[in-house]
Amino acid sequence: MTESFQTPSATSIAAGVRDGSQSAADVIDAAIGAVEAREGELNAYNLVLADDARTAAAAIDQKIAAGETVGPLAGVPVAIKDNMCTTGVATTCSSKILEGWVPPYSATVVERLAAAGAVMVGKTNLDEFAMGSSTENSAFGPSKNPHDITKVPGGSSGGSAATVGAGAVPVSLGSDTGGSIRQPASLCGVVGVKPTYGMVSRYGLIAFASSLDQIGPFTTTVADAALVLEVIGGHDPRDSTSIPEPMPNLTEALGKGVDGLRIGIISELSGDPSLGSVEGIAPDVAARAAAAAAALEAAGASIEHVSIPSSVHGLPAYYLIAPAEASSNLARYDGVRYGLRSDGPNALAMNAASRTEGFGEEVKRRIMLGTYALTSGYYDAYYGQAQKVRTLMIDEFNAHYQNFDLLLSPTSPTTAFELDAKTADPMTMYVNDVCTIPSNLTGQPAMSVPFGVGDDGMPVGVQVLAPMMGEATMFRAAAVLEEAARV
């Protein structure tokens, strides 16, 4: 395993900056140095904003010197996935079709981080338009796993996971459509949270699949994840799907433990064939999930296996719904309004040439899948059926949450795999999302918590799932798992 830096937590950095024991300028200098020291091998960033970050840090130090109030993330270095709009800073979605595009506005989450005193140090690499599970689909080259650069960091938020996993920055943001925060968090050994759909504003997030996309944090600690989610979450009138409720106090929930909680291990995702588990979940990963369940039981939770048959249908349903929505969302990239424009003898030829040249193979594959599923004569057979499965999953998960406070599973079926190992077979790659997709289809929250390593010494994450707006309880369990993993 490659040696990584050990960055302080966001909570401790902000406390030190606020009390004057360290300057934001020094913190940002150290973070930029750590980023640049490993960027040549990790390719975690599409753009490093060293000068802008130093200017922002100096402004924070000036506020503190003047006795002004600074936010809960004062001076904390953060990295932003390059599918979130940033005023005056290129936002590419790791696609040639948007290369060099500079948005005139920032995403709500970017604004809220800045208002809290966080300092953006760069835009991170991703699978093009967030379509992938390995960050090998980027137009700007693959990112690498910080623990072993011959392996993938997961995807699609691989750059965001890799830079936190490397210890370069304590916080980054990713987006999660089918597991794109939780799966790379697992593979890179960091905390990754997919909140309740609508808890965090999607305003300024470049859409992949609008009914599934959700923004969330990567952090090195559960406490940091709670703090960052409190900062970026909450109602936003600019997002019509934003939940009009205040953010729950997640930080306050961390020390409450799990005594008395009822937690179900999803049999179909347990890795145990005798319980009807899907194939492909590695024994070493299943063993870590079982150990996590034992740790929660030792801390006072009641644990039992629970069968959720619809969970195994999430994969095929997702790969009809998500491409269908992508087909619609990506129709706007036509070579006319913004982005890449290729020459052609007429508008139709220009449009086709722009999209052919601008989109990568995986994006083209998903656009074609989605367009086919929405075609007259096939809509009811494919897209309509997938939506019925989605409704079945929502009903079934909600029914089980009447009896359980939380659910548990592995996050990813395996530890990080070798670069190029699965690129030739899309179906093999898609199976990486089998454990994470259900929470996107149901809209419910889930998070990955590091819980030891597999037989190859690479990180393993355990997934904690919760009902809608159940983040506070979810974080209680995550804090217990984090403490147990240290033992």
Percentages (nearest 5) of helix, strand, coil residues in the chain: 45, 15, 40
Q: What is the amino acid identity at position 187?
A: L
CA 180/CA 437 separation, integer angstroms: 9
Contact 188, 162 (CB under 8 A): yes
Q: Which residues contact 402 (CB under 8 A, 6 or more apart)?
A: none
- List the one residue out of 198, 238, 231 whose CA is nearest residue 217: 231
Three-state SS at 30: helix
- Residue 97 DSSP code: G
CA 268 to chain centre: 23
Give the H or E element holding residue 13.
helix 10-19
Sign of CA dihedral 396, 208, 211, 145: positive
- What is the full DSSP assignment across 289-350? HHHHHHHHHHTT-EEEEE--GGGGGHHHHHHHHHHHHHHHHGGG-SSSSSS-----SSHHHH
Q: Name the token pair of 226.
A: 């709670």
* Residues assigned a catalytic role: 81, 156, 180
Q: How many CA atoms lie within 13 A of 422 on its CB side?
A: 22
Cα 210 from Cα 241, distance rounded (Å): 10
Q: How far apart are CA 4 and CA 9, in angstroms?
A: 15
Q: Which amino acid is at 98?
A: L
Strand ordering across the sheet containing 262-266: 45-48, 119-124, 77-81, 171-175, 215-219, 191-194, 446-453, 459-465, 406-410, 262-266, 302-306
From residue 159, alpha-carbon distances to 59, 119, 149 in Å are 27, 17, 13
Amino acid at 272: D
My answer on whether omega of the bond before 156 falls inside 30° of 0, hence cis, is: yes
Q: Taken in order 222, 4, 29, 215, is the CA torsion positive or negative?
A: negative
Do 60 and 119 meet the contact criterion of CB atoms below 8 Å apart? yes
Distant-in-sequence, close-in-space partners of 294: CB < 8 Å, separation ≥ 6: 303
